[in-house]
Amino acid sequence: EDSSIFLNAINSVDRLGPWAMTFSFSRANQSSALKAWKGKKENVEAAQKALLARAQANSEASKGKYVAGSQPSDQESLYVKNY
């Protein structure tokens, strides 16, 4: 969720050029899906839904149109101090 919110904030600011600001969100996308999956076959559908939700959120954020909390998320920050 944090990544989507930050990316949205970046893309909500008027820019001088025609390009969109994006970044690699693989960790942010995968985190919710991996937590939902837990390595269990019966959780595959839930993991796919979590991945789709994060992809949708980041797609909207890359256009500056994401509304925080509008897509499901585990809400856990991925920040690692001194990484």
Per-residue pLDDT tens digits for 1-24: 777 888 888 888 887 887 777 766
Residue 48 binned pLDDT confidence (cut-offs 50, 70, 90): very high
Mean pLDDT value across residues 56-78? 77
Mean pLDDT value across residues 47-71? 86
Say if residues 66 and 60 touch (Cβ distance below 8 Å): yes
φ, ψ of residue 59 to 5 degrees: the values are -65, -45
Q: What is the pLDDT of residue 43?
A: 97
CA 5, distance to chain mean position in Å, is 8
